[in-house]
Chains A and B, each alone.
Chain A
Amino acid sequence: MAEWIDACATDDIEEEDVIRFDHGSRTFIIVRDHEENYYCTDGLCTHEDVHLADGLVVEATIECPKHSSIFDVTNGDVETPPACESLQRYPTRIEGGRVFVEI
């Protein structure tokens, strides 16, 4: 059952950057884009299970640090292969300076 989790403070993530967020046995990323929007997706690249948190965020995209797949974090879609599968995306909401994710 998905539940809302308090993941981090909004300013734990720099503008156009990403943090890794582990919960239970699962790993996620939380991305802050260039316009103060926050997104949460699965944390591992769908190509070779590389942690995306080491990747570069440009606007609302993240690039895998290993093989350069680029994902649109607003919907999880692959923008540039080699990845073929989208990232699972999870809802986020901001409340009192905290980022909540529904995972």
Chain B
Amino acid sequence: MTEIVIIGAGECGVRAAFSLREYGHDGAITLIGAESALPYERPPLSKAMDGTEKPIRPADAYDTAGIDLVLGTDVARIDPEARRVFLGNGVDLPYHMLLLATGARARLFPSLRGCLTLRTDSDAEAIMARLAPNTRIGIVGGGFIGLELAATARATGAKVTVVEAAPRLLARGVPTEIASIVEARHRTAGVEIRTGTGVSSATNRTITLADGETLTFDAVIAGVGSVPNTELAADAGLAVENGIRVDEWFRTSDQRIFAAGDCCSFVWRGTRVRLESWKAAQDQGAFVAAAMLGRTNDGGYRHVPWFWSDQYDQSLQVAGLFDADSPVQQRDAGQDKRIVFQCDAENVLVAAAGIGPGNSVSKDIRILEKLIERGARVDPSVLADPSLNLKRLLRAA
């Protein structure tokens, strides 16, 4: 009677399944995915054009670990009283504990119906099929999905226009000092960027701006955020608050049901947040697996939110959550790189971001991430000084 069922076979669900085994769970593990492909990585979807999926784990790893992988199967409902999951194909499964790793889906406002969106392998295939030299591609939304697709589209020779309602790109979560470099890079590559430009509606061929102007394209892609998949949880009576509401152990309002990854909202440093991040999905998958097995003695979830984006030859990384209303400081990182950070009123480092060619800022951002994780106090003027060796600072923290 120790069956664990995991709904959702993305990064979070897969990591949780393997972690459960690693942590010694010897009962049955059933991992249910709605998509039919072997669980695959989503980050390459906005970047790679060859259409080949990169599996998260090789096919035989599931067998070896004794994970029962059920693909191409929807879940119809959960009965928390009977502790059973009812699948769309009529099968139902008992559970001792249940993990909801249902992820998120691309948001599509009714006014944008007809636009292409990106979340799955088939979405990517549909988009990549439209990219060709001189094809006119319109992108609604200057966030990560929109911008990574803009870079990918330019590489094929397509003509790209990005329309963003906010006054600047990457307004959610990336400081201006970094976003301006991204914007300049796109402009250099020939992408037309229209910030501060509202969209009143869009179709598969047109974007109509708030001022009434209509732009015509060969394809229009909307990258305007995502919506957590909370319907199963809500139908089962679980608390939902911008995602499935979980406590510090990623437990929902039902003691036997956990939720993790893009579908959940959790408290990080006093604020309830929901992350849409590849790394957080994995970190939370591993953490929740331990929590489900009662391994809660090493404290609550401490992983710092972290994400990256590759566009052209540049890579940007962000660790921690920037407060958009507070100032950021800059660390002199050399000519072609930029690193910024933010401390709170007590000089505790809360967030850091960097951009540069290739992986040139990775090591510094990783060190800053570790300092954030440790709640390190730093004198901002010292941290800004390039002569300070970050590695030594980390050893002392």
Which residues of chain A are near B360, meaning CB under 8 Å?
54
CB <8 Å contact, B359 and A51: yes
Tell me which of A14, A65, A81 contacts B362 (CB under 8 A): A65
User: Considering residues B58, B306, B308, B391, which has the most beta carbons from chain A within 10 angstroms of its beta carbon?
Assistant: B391
CB <8 Å contact, A84 and B61: yes
CB <8 Å contact, B366 and A81: no
B363 within 8 A of A: yes
Instruction: For B389, give the chain A residue with the smallest CB separation.
Output: A14
Tell me which of B57, B315, B395 contacts A84 (CB under 8 A): B57
- The verdict on A54 contacting B56 (CB below 8 Å), with A68-B279, A81-B15, A81-B282 known, is no
Q: Mark A52-88, 1 if CB is under 8 A from B, else 0.
A: 0011100000010110100000000000011010000
Distance in angstroms from A103 CB to nearest chain B CB is: 24
Which residues of chain A are near B359, meaning CB under 8 Å?
50-51, 54-55, 65-66
Specify the main secondary structure of chain A where it touches its partner. loop
Instruction: For A68, give the chain B residue with the smallest CB separation.
Output: B279
Instruction: For A84, give the chain B residue with the smallest CB separation.
Output: B57
CB <8 Å contact, B362 and A66: yes
Which residues of chain A are near B57, meaning CB under 8 Å?
84
Q: Tell me the complex Cα distance, A13–B39, Å.
A: 40
B74 within 8 A of A: no
Distance in angstroms from B45 CB to nearest chain A CB is: 14
A42 within 8 A of B: no
Q: Tell me the complex Cα distance, A5–B388, Å.
A: 35
Q: Mark B312-325, 1 if CB is under 8 A from A, else 0.
A: 00010000000000
Q: Mark A21-57, 1 if CB is under 8 A from B, else 0.
A: 0000000000000000000000000000011001110
Residues of B347-397 at the interface with A, using a CB-CB cut-off of 8 Å, are 358-360, 362-363, 366-367, 391, 395
Tell me which of B18, B306, B308, B391 contacts A16 (CB under 8 A): B391
Q: Mark A1-27, 1 if CB is under 8 A from B, else 0.
A: 000000000000010110000000000
Q: Tell me the complex Cα distance, A68–B359, Å.
A: 12
Which residues of chain A are near B61, meaning CB under 8 Å?
84
B41 within 8 A of A: yes
Which residues of chain A are near B366, meaning CB under 8 Å?
55-56, 63, 65
Q: Tell me the complex Cα distance, A16–B391, Å.
A: 9
Q: Tell me the complex Cα distance, A84–B306, Å.
A: 21
Which residues of chain B are near A68, meaning CB under 8 Å?
279, 306
Q: Tell me the complex Cα distance, A16–B392, Å.
A: 10
Q: Tell me the complex Cα distance, A54–B359, Å.
A: 7
Instruction: For B56, give the chain A residue with the smallest CB separation.
Output: A82
Q: Tell me the complex Cα distance, A88–B57, Å.
A: 19
Distance in angstroms from A7 CB to nearest chain B CB is: 21
Residues of B35-67 at the interface with A, using a CB-CB cut-off of 8 Å, are 41, 56-58, 61
Q: Tell me the complex Cα distance, A54–B360, Å.
A: 7
Q: Tell me the complex Cα distance, A82–B41, Å.
A: 10
Which residues of chain B are near A51, meaning CB under 8 Å?
359
Which residues of chain B are near A84, meaning CB under 8 Å?
57-58, 61
Which residues of chain B are near A17, meaning CB under 8 Å?
391
CB <8 Å contact, A55 and B56: no
- The verdict on A82 contacting B363 (CB below 8 Å), with A16-B391, A54-B358, A66-B308 known, is no
Which residues of chain A are near B358, meaning CB under 8 Å?
54
Instruction: For B391, give the chain A residue with the smallest CB separation.
Output: A16
Residues of B3-52 at the interface with A, using a CB-CB cut-off of 8 Å, are 15, 18, 41
CB <8 Å contact, A55 and B363: yes
Distance in angstroms from A67 CB to nearest chain B CB is: 8
Instruction: For A50, give the chain B residue with the smallest CB separation.
Output: B359
Instruction: For A58, give the chain B residue with the smallest CB separation.
Output: B370
Which residues of chain A are near B56, meaning CB under 8 Å?
82
Which residues of chain B are near A56, meaning CB under 8 Å?
362-363, 366-367
6 CB < 8 A contacts A-B: A51-B359, A55-B363, A56-B362, A56-B367, A63-B366, A68-B279
19 additional A-B pairs beyond A55-B366, A65-B366, beta carbons within 8 Å, are A14-B391, A16-B391, A17-B391, A54-B360, A54-B363, A55-B359, A56-B362, A56-B363, A56-B366, A63-B366, A65-B359, A66-B308, A66-B359, A66-B362, A68-B279, A68-B306, A81-B282, A82-B56, A84-B61
